[in-house]
Amino acid sequence: MYLTIEETADYLELSTTDIVRLIREKQIRTLSDGETILIYKEQFNLYLCEIEKYKKELQEYLDEPIPEDIDIKDED
């Protein structure tokens, strides 16, 4: 399935300016039918999977309790 720049921005939750920048930097592959720039939607699957994996790992890290340091001395 192919998306326009605006549809891609909605899909990736980015601004259209960011999408255009990524296209110029050749980070996103595109096709053109002469008038419209089309972007293949499936090229983002790996990116989205990695983002979800990163979010999960970050949340697990943040949920981990801070261990007590046995070397801390009470200085009362």
Please tell me the pTM assigned to this model.
0.63
pLDDT, tens digit only, all 76 positions of the chain: 899 999 999 988 889 999 999 899 988 889 988 888 999 988 888 878 888 899 999 999 999 888 776 666 666 5
Q: Give the other-Cβ count within 10 Å of 61's Cβ.
A: 8
Q: How far is Cα 14 from Cα 28, in angstroms, rounded to an integer?
A: 13
Sorted by where each begins, the domain ranges of the chain are 2-63
Give the pair of three-digit tokens for residue 8.
């891609």
Q: Give the other-Cβ count within 10 Å of 55's Cβ.
A: 10
Sheet containing strand 30-32, edge to edge, reads 2-3, 37-40, 30-32
